[in-house]
Structure 1
């Protein structure tokens, strides 16, 4: 008969440092190999019944792995600042000062660089790069489309703003990375409601299209009719990004009804799906470019 794995009440629903619980006699190293526990990092475990998020993994890493001179950074910092989270299994991004000599560690993506005083603060006791420093790192580490999408998310959360980022750019002077940061700042827009919408907007602009208005409100005789993801109001052309929400039948019908209401006002609404973004962006670009070219400014 197979014995059920040991589940001390003190560890149920918790993350913990293996060395500590073994020292206290709550578990043995052999117990940790059972199906009751899930390894997150070396010596860091969790109750296997917990639904682990990227933020939880980041906090666990900061609690039990980081020496002084380390901070959660990049997309992981965006998540702790209230923005979108990477997948739970994606590496936690860490900014490490050269003097810390930390890593490599499985499950962490380590970036070695100095930070200035005031560029790291505490979020729920975890060291995290400030919003401004996070935006700088995103611009330096990611391609411009991904960087802008995540900076957009922070702007939308209100944890920083364009003026603060511009002032930070000036303080950086001619340092390495300033050009990438400046390029990102020219493209950011806190009106974007999702990463895919931001990615679509930036790719369209970089392809030479006029800059669209984000979350444009369409009204009729002063009354709200609809709000569209991207719009060129002078030509009455709108673009809607259709993400995974279309699996929700009620949401699908609500959105289609909303968009149908603006057709009587001579708006042209184009739809872009995740599949087409990934596999047929040139086709999407051609359709939008044609729509804009055939519409006279109003």
Structure 2
């Protein structure tokens, strides 16, 4: 049976260096192996009641980094409230001055680059990039679909705006990753309501399907207005993402309105002359090629000319 131990008050709800706690005689090495604590990084422990999320990973990493470190990219996006940006087991991204000689390793991605004072801020004891610098780093570093989904969320939450994105492209006019960032910004859409929806949109585009409109309003004959998740209005084709497939649920539905989902009626859209293609999260993982073929066929049937 796993051992439990008393948590000294200075360590309750804290993240700490194990060697420091032992030296201060707060716990013993044996007590650190009890269920009261969780080992987060080498020689870094936390009260086991703390949620195992990316914030904890950042807090643990901060104890082993110079004070000049700035959390950036997907890590900063998580700290800005984009919960799907990074998980507990994902790499922590930090910016360090080029002259600091530290290397990336498992669990830590170091970006040796310059950062201006107005591009960083302190929040809850951690130094992170501001939202505008965060979207730039995400666009430059992250895989396209993931990058767009993060930028979508920051746009939707009004933490950045279209003018900010345009300003970043202008500001970094000679940056080697400028074209990559520009592609991410061009594909971003604040109307997306979930990471799964963003992913579906970008994966369709990169598969050669024309860019759909997110949440296009469709007014029915009875006056009701529906907003299919993705639509090609000129061809009256729509895609409905089925979040509630048996045995599966998207982990990124933190701001989906359940009432909106319940009101959504595939039958009414079909009766109004639309072709509606449902796709499950399982299909997105394992049968996406077949789904792309179905979308392409539906668009061709409605007059799309590639």
1:168-187 correspondence to structure 2 within 5 Å: 168-187=168-187
Compare 78-87 and 100-109 and name the one that shifted more.
100-109
2:259 is the alignment partner of 1:260: no
TM-score w.r.t. length of structure 2: 0.85
1:78 alignment counterpart: 77
TM-score w.r.t. length of structure 1: 0.87
Indicate how the Cα distance of structure 1 residues 211 and 131 shifts in structure 2: closer, same or farther if over 3 A, else same.
same
Aligned counterparts of 2:139 and 2:264: Cα–Cα separation in 1: 39
Corresponding pairs, count: 295
Q: Match for 1:283 among 275, 278, 290? A: 290
1:146-165 correspondence to structure 2 within 5 Å: 146-165=146-165
Q: 1:42–1:106: 8 Å Cα contact kept in structure 2?
A: no
Indicate how the Cα distance of structure 1 residues 257 and 174 shifts in structure 2: closer, same or farther if over 3 A, else same.
closer
How far does the alpha carbon of each residue in 1:131-157 deviate from its partner, in whole angstroms, 9 at most, with x for none?
222222222222322221221121112
Q: Which runs of 5+ in 2 are unaligned?
A: 250-257
How far does the alpha carbon of each residue in 1:235-256 deviate from its partner, in whole angstroms, 9 at most, with x for none?
221112223675589x79x648
2:279 alignment counterpart: 272
How far does the alpha carbon of each residue in 1:246-287 deviate from its partner, in whole angstroms, 9 at most, with x for none?
5589x79x6486322322212221112222223332211111
Aligned counterparts of 1:126 and 1:157: Cα–Cα separation in 2: 21
3-state SS in 1 of match to 2:127: strand
Q: Match for 1:295 among 291, 302, 306? A: 302
Aligned counterparts of 1:192 and 1:72: Cα–Cα separation in 2: 26
Aligned counterparts of 2:224 and 2:91: Cα–Cα separation in 1: 43
Indicate how the Cα distance of structure 1 residues 69 and 224 shifts in structure 2: closer, same or farther if over 3 A, else same.
farther
Aligned counterparts of 2:43 and 2:225: Cα–Cα separation in 1: 55
Aligned counterparts of 2:150 and 2:137: Cα–Cα separation in 1: 11
Q: Which runs of 5+ in 1 are unaligned?
A: none
Aligned counterparts of 2:4 and 2:248: Cα–Cα separation in 1: 40
How far residue 105 of structure 1 moved from its aligned partner, in angstroms, is 5.5
Indicate how the Cα distance of structure 1 residues 3 and 116 shifts in structure 2: closer, same or farther if over 3 A, else same.
closer
Aligned counterparts of 1:247 and 1:3: Cα–Cα separation in 2: 35
1:123-272 correspondence to structure 2 within 5 Å: 123-220=123-220, 223-243=223-243, 247=247, 255=262, 258-272=265-279
Aligned counterparts of 2:10 and 2:298: Cα–Cα separation in 1: 62
How far does the alpha carbon of each residue in 1:66-110 deviate from its partner, in whole angstroms, 9 at most, with x for none?
313211111111111111232222222222221232344653222
Aligned counterparts of 2:79 and 2:136: Cα–Cα separation in 1: 16
2:61 is the alignment partner of 1:90: no
Compare 227-236 and 260-269 and name the one that shifted more.
260-269
By percentage of residues, which structure has more helix?
1
How far residue 294 of structure 1 moved from its aligned partner, in angstroms, is 1.4
